Amino acid sequence: MRCPFCECSFPLTWARYLGAPAGRHACPACGRRSRLRPGLSYWALLVLAASLGGIPPALALGWWPGGYWPVAGWAIGGLISGAAIDKTLLDAGWRKLERPEQAA
Ligand SMILES: [Zn+2]
């Protein structure tokens, strides 16, 4: 990811990713905070991909033990695959960091 203030790029680790659920990241070089812009089409894609990722564990848990477990499997599988896809897209530079307030 690239800092919008000092233009230095820094890697997005899992620790950094999980420590910033709202998409706010502090630059390791200048320490200033920037955020990731949430895009509607991006989130739609992510939700779709996460839903697909939850289907295999839901099917497995529907076979055994059944009951309400497929719902839990779908939620957890979707969450894990959604996070993995989200981080992969962030690494690929699909979302850019920007300054929290554009007014100078
Ligand atoms: Zn910086």
Q: Which residues pair with 26 in a beta bridge?
A: 33
- Taking residues 3-31, report their average pLDDT: 91
Let me know: does 23 contact 83? Beta carbons within 8 Å. Answer: no
CA–centroid distance, residue 26 to ligand 1 (Å): 8
Ligand 1 center to 34 CA (angstroms): 9
From the CA of 36, how far away is ligand 1's center (Å)? 14
- pLDDT at residue 103, rounded to an integer: 46
- Per-residue pLDDT at 104 exceeds 80: no
Alpha helices in the chain (DSSP H): 14-18, 40-63, 69-91
What is the arithmetic mean of pLDDT over 80-98?
A: 90
User: Please, what is the average pLDDT of the chain?
Assistant: 90
Q: Give distance in angstroms: CA of 62 to centre of ligand 1.
A: 48
Among candidates 90, 101, 104, which has minimal Cα distance to 2?
A: 90
* Ligand 1 centroid, distance to 17 Cα (angstroms): 17
CA of 99 to the centre of ligand 1 (A): 11
**Residue 53: pLDDT band with limits 50, 70, 90:** very high
CA atoms within 13 A on the CB side of 68: 1
Distance 6 CA to ligand 1 centre (A): 4
With a cut of 70, say whether residue 102 has pLDDT above it.
no
